[in-house]
Structure 1
Amino acid sequence: MSSFSIIELMTLMMSAMSAVAVLYLAMQVSIIKRIYMRETHANRMERTLEAMELPSEVTKTMSQVLHQHYRGDMHAIFEDPELRASLYSTLNTLENLSFGILSGIYDEDVAFAQMGGALPRFYDIIQRFVYESREEFLSSSQYIKLEQLARMWAHREKGYYKRSAL
């Protein structure tokens, strides 16, 4: 049987205490990470819900466009200067919203639950207007995020697209 000197026992005890301290710190970091992730998720949900509260002018314009479309009177959209102006404003708002969703600022699942059916249909109706405005302003990237999101959500509605986790 070997005997340990006091120095060897102290060294062993210090090593054990260091190991316990590292384990304790790892647990604390894990707890902080979980809390941070929950708060980040809650903030993202809050931002998304706020963003999904579209201004009344936007919902009014979307309703007008849908109404004109279902009446079969799409020429009114392209010929009425007041409706054109409000449509540009609506498209700008939806483009900003789409950018936020596609970049992960807003939660796509929550946004899809709110507008997943309406956005692709709306975009489908005003697609010609978007293409003509791109030509008019010589900007091939105008409303590109809106177009991308509308296409993704149209596929998602049909079950062809599943959101990738960020």
Structure 2
Amino acid sequence: MKPPSFLNKIVNRNDAAARMAALPRPVVFTNGVFDVLHCGHATYLAQARQLGASLVVALNTDASARRLGKGPDRPLNPQDDRAVLMAALESSSLVTWFDEDTPLELIAELKPDVLVKGGDYDMDTLAETAVVKAYGGRTLAIPFVEGYSTTALVQKIRAGTSAG
């Protein structure tokens, strides 16, 4: 049996710029850990994709995710598994990783047309915003879907309570 075609969306960082160049424009870029996918993630990513013709999702590597301080055992899902799940989503066009604390260097390399972040970010304070605006791109925050959080979900599981 041949591998699923969506695996072709996963690309190492060194090849990301060349692969992105072949995507339909405008290209939207977002990033995150996306440790345990939930309805909020799916909605956010679909909304991000609607802002352009293609969506590039950059995942924090496992090491980068651990530095975010979400807990010593996070991420729960390793980066390769998170990439496969992200690639399987219809909204994603390309999936790659970054190992730094922020995707600033990757954004500067890729130069996406639109940078999108979750609603908890003040776009005006991000260094990424300055980089994107400097080459003529635009940035915006998409409001969160209330009631969805990987951290809250993990806490519910550990407490043995119902998620719904």
TM-score (norm 1): 0.24
Q: Which has the higher helix share?
A: 1
Structure with higher strand content: 2
Higher Rg of the two aligned structures = 1
